[in-house]
Amino acid sequence: ITILGIESSCDDTSIAIVQNRKILANVTANQKIHAEYGGVVPELASRAHQQNIVPTLDAALKKAGITLNELSAVAFTSGPGLLGSLLVGTSFAKSLSLALDIPLIEVNHMQAHILAHLIEDPRQANPEFPFLCLTVSGGHTQIVQVNSPYDMKLLGSTIDDAAGEAFDKAGKIMGLPYPAGPEIDRRAKLGNPGAFEFAKPRMPELQFSFSGLKTSILYFLQKQMKENPDFIKENLNDLCASIQNSIVGILMDKLELASQQYGINRIAIAGGVSANSGLRDALEERKSSLNWELFLPSFEYTTDNGAMIAISGYYQYQKQNFADLSVVAAARKPLEA
For ligand ATP, the nearest residue by Cβ is: 272
Q: Of these partners, Fe ion, ligand ATP, none, which one is at the site of residue 164 (CB under 5 to 8 Å by kind)? A: ligand ATP
Residue of 64, 118, 273, 283 that binds ligand ATP (CB under 6 A): 273
Say whether residue 297 binds ligand ATP (CB under 6 A).
Answer: no
The phi-psi region of residue 40 (left if phi > 0; otherwise alpha if psi is between -120 and 50; otherwise beta) is beta
Q: Which helix (H) or strand (E) holds 47?
A: helix 42-64
Residue of 121, 168, 300, 304 that binds Fe ion (CB under 5 A): 304
Q: Which stretch binds ligand ATP (CB under 6 A): 181-189, 226-234, 288-296, 315-323?
A: 181-189
Closer to ligand ATP by Cβ: residue 14 or 19: 14
In a 3-state reduction of DSSP, which class is residue 39? Answer: coil
Q: Please list every residue from 305 through 324 that binds Fe ion, using CB under 5 A.
A: none
DSSP one-letter code for 214: H
The half-sphere exposure of 12 on its side-chain side, counting CA atoms within 13 A, is: 22
Say whether residue 84 binds ligand ATP (CB under 6 A).
Answer: no
Say whether residue 193 binds ligand ATP (CB under 6 A).
Answer: no
Q: Please list every residue from 55 through 94 that binds Fe ion, using CB under 5 A.
A: none
Q: List C-alpha distances in Å: 4 to 75, 81, 154, 257, 269.
A: 6, 20, 27, 38, 24
Rounded to 5 degrees, φ, ψ at 6 are -120, 120
Q: Which stretch binds ligand ATP (CB under 6 A): 95-103, 151-159, 213-221, 265-273?
A: 265-273
Say whether residue 138 binds ligand ATP (CB under 6 A).
Answer: yes
136 is in an annotated binding site: yes
41 is in an annotated binding site: no
Distance CA 14, CA 308 (A): 10
What is the chain's alpha carbon radius of gyration, rounded to the nearest angstrom?
Answer: 20
Closer to ligand ATP by Cβ: residue 61 or 162: 162
Closer to ligand ATP by Cβ: residue 3 or 269: 269
Closer to ligand ATP by Cβ: residue 64 or 166: 166
Distance CA 20, CA 261 (A): 35
Cβ 167 to ligand ATP shortest distance, Å: 4
Cβ 132 to ligand ATP shortest distance, Å: 18
Say whether residue 7 binds ligand ATP (CB under 6 A).
Answer: no
Closer to ligand ATP by Cβ: residue 181 or 191: 181
Cβ 119 to Fe ion shortest distance, Å: 16
109 is in an annotated binding site: yes
Residue of 26, 276, 312, 316 that binds ligand ATP (CB under 6 A): 276
The beta-strand segments (E) located in the chain are 2-7, 12-19, 22-30, 73-79, 104-108, 131-136, 141-148, 151-157, 266-270, 293-295
Say whether residue 271 binds ligand ATP (CB under 6 A).
Answer: yes
312 is in an annotated binding site: no
Cβ 281 to ligand ATP shortest distance, Å: 12
Distance CA 128, CA 135 (A): 17
Under a CB-based contact definition with an 8 Å cutoff, are residues 160 and 281 in contact? no
Q: What residues pair up with 270 in beta bridges, in sequence order?
A: 135
Which of 232, 234, 256, 8 is closest to 112 using CA atoms? 8
Under a CB-based contact definition with an 8 Å cutoff, are residues 93 and 74 in contact? yes
Q: CB-based contacts of 299: which residues, under 8 Å, 6+ apart?
A: 275
Q: Which helix (H) or strand (E) holds 207?
A: none
The residue count for binding Fe ion (CB under 5 A) is 2
Order of strands, sheet of 141-148, starting from the edge strand that comes earlier in the sequence = 151-157, 141-148, 131-136, 266-270, 293-295
Residues lying near Fe ion in the complex (CB under 5 A) are found at 137, 304
List binding-site positions for Fe cation: 109, 113, 304
Residues lying near ligand ATP in the complex (CB under 6 A) are found at 9-10, 81, 109, 113, 137-140, 164, 167-168, 179-182, 185, 271-273, 275-276, 303-304
